[in-house]
A and B are shown apart, each in its own frame.
Chain A
Amino acid sequence: MNLIETLLAEIVRMAPAALFNIYFAFAAIPVGFLLAIVFALGKNARNPLLNRLSRIYIYFFRGSPFFIQLFAFYSLALAFNVSTWKPLGIDWLVLNPLFLGPAILMLNTTAYTAEIFYGALITVPRGEVEAARAYGMTRGQRFRSVTWPNLIRLAWPAYTNEVVFLFQTTALVYFTLPVIGDQRDLMNTAEVLFQKDYNVFLHFGVAAGYFLAISLAIFFLFGLIYRRLMRHMPQQATMRFSWQRLFGQAPQ
């Protein structure tokens, strides 16, 4: 049927573009995850300087739109091109959207993830931590054996949500950073195709379908990890598609 053929052709045409979105999201996750732990611990720290700095960072990056953050950091990076990046010889890297996009995404996701981890951190069962202390564990041992496992288990549902939102925010990257050659992501490809035949439903519909499919895939994957994290708990825990179980974290 003509409609199915058109749809299939469209899906095939947009497949390489989806890789860009996936790349942006998954390039931002590792460093974001690690930095988030640092900031979450910082926000919980007793040292007033660490505490204040962490809170300011989290507040700033959660309180401002990612769209504006992209513009702002690109302009800032550009302003330093002649004075800093070029002499160091790294201007080809810093200003490349494939680096800068994940970098700014990383800054953003660090703040949201840090907030999630902080929420989980303060909910870690007090008794377990005190027992670990009573046993004479050092701070590092305490963190590794007690705090961290509890934290990641408590935070995982909300973190899954955050990763899905991160993936969806990657749609904004090529709205602000220049497009190099033919490197286009889903939204960009949809727009270029739309300019040719002005068919809103087909192009944006298929792009939406891709986002939905990959979001569901992320939910499924992270659900598997959650099952493994909870494997020692009394009842078989599954992560459901529901809001009330999560930490009240909303989209950015």
Chain B
Amino acid sequence: MKTLVLAIAAIAALTAGAHAQSYKIATEGSYPPYNFTDDSGKLGGYDIDVGTEMCKRAGVECTFITNDWDSIIPNLLANNYDAIMDDMSITDERKQTIAFTDPYFPPDPSTYLTLSTTKVDYANIKGMKLGAQKATIQAGYLDQNFKADNTILTYDTQDQEMADLNAGNLDIIFLDGSVVAEAVAASGGKLKADGPEILIGDGVGVGMRQSDADLTKKFDTALAAMKADGALDALIAKYFPEKAGGPFYKK
């Protein structure tokens, strides 16, 4: 028994890495413009830039790792990493298992994305194929409101639902407004978003374990500083050129 414990301790020591002030932040890596892997293989995006700056101001060392959306919360709870920055909306359901920092993106209503050729009566959506990413606030909203008269398809990643929309297998997808705006701008007229905007959730925050209250506070302070001196606004302008109405935080 003793040798077993020693062996486990050895494994823990080997795999732990530098504990002091070094944290791992998980992101999906395939949710542009919040996070993506660019063509040189490096992680980039709004979440990564905000996270790097936030850690710098909090005086801690952070590395970003990728994890699929499905298991991003369970792996946080299993202590595989210390924070989640993946355009994760603050909801009451999620607050039951994890904690959040203050929001680091202005309130972002979700909206509908369709092909330019699709005509949709948004007051009365019937018999259409709607898509959303699994386990997101948008999937929950579609499930609550449109299940009765429409077909709802859920996908593992954002690009899968985009591919299905572009190939005509879906009529409408329901996404964060900030992502929709960028997608419409980049599509050169192929996509349009003329549906209503629906605010779900309480903003986008960094997901933390409930037991890490100190770290959460540190991150909150850093984010507040970034909001006050315009750093956050600069990043929003960089990654979301279509988002009108800035600056959002700098007084």
Contact check: which of A81, A179, A191, A198 meets B167 at CB < 8 Å?
A: A81
A179-B168 in contact given A78-B163, A191-B70, A195-B74 (Cβ < 8 Å): no
Q: Are A181 and B147 in contact (CB under 8 A)?
A: yes
List, in ascending order, chain A residues with CB within 8 A of B22's CB.
Answer: none
**A141 vs chain B, min Cβ distance (A):** 49
Point out the residues of chain A lying under 8 angstroms from B163, CB to CB: 75, 78
Whether A91 contacts B168 by the Cβ 8 Å rule is yes
Taking a contact as CB atoms under 8 Å apart, the answer to whether A79 and B167 are in contact is yes
State A167–B80 Cα separation when bound (angstroms): 33
Q: For A176, give the chain B residue with the smallest CB separation.
A: B156
Q: Which residue of A lies closest to B135 (CB)?
A: A195
Contacts of B154 in A (CB 8 A): 178-179
Contact partner of B169 among A91, A179, A194, A198, CB < 8 A?
A: A91
Q: Are A82 and B167 in contact (CB under 8 A)?
A: yes
Answer whether A180 and B167 are a contact pair too, CB < 8 Å, given A191-B70, A194-B74, A195-B135: no
Q: Which of B73, B147, B153 contacts A179 (CB 8 A)?
A: B153
Q: Is the CB of B134 within 8 A of A179?
A: yes
Contacts of B164 in A (CB 8 A): 78, 178
Contact residues, B147-179 vs A (CB, 8 A): 147, 151-155, 160-161, 163-164, 167-169
What's the tally of chain A residues with a CB closer than 8 Å to chain B?
16
Q: Does A95 belong to the interface (CB within 8 Å)?
A: yes
Q: Which residues from A are CB-within-8-Å of B155?
A: 178
Which B residues lie within 8 Å of A79 (CB)? Answer: 167
Asked if B32 is an interface residue, CB under 8 A from chain A, the answer is no
Assess whether B200 is interfacial by the CB under 8 Å rule. Answer: no
A45 to chain B, nearest CB (A): 39
The residues of B that contact A195 with a CB separation of less than 8 Å are: 70, 73-74, 135
Q: Which of A78, A180, A194 contacts B152 (CB under 8 A)?
A: A180
Nearest CB to that of A79 among chain B residues? B167
- Is there contact, CB below 8 Å, between B168 and A81? yes
Q: Which 5 A-B pairs have the closest CB atoms?
A: A81-B167, A178-B153, A78-B167, A179-B154, A95-B169
Please give 17 more A-B residue pairs, beta carbons under 8 A apart, in addition to A179-B153, A195-B73: A75-B163, A78-B163, A78-B167, A78-B169, A81-B167, A81-B168, A81-B169, A86-B168, A91-B169, A95-B169, A178-B131, A178-B153, A178-B155, A178-B161, A181-B152, A194-B74, A195-B135
Can you name 5 A-B pairs with beta carbons within 8 Å?
A82-B167, A178-B154, A178-B160, A179-B154, A191-B70
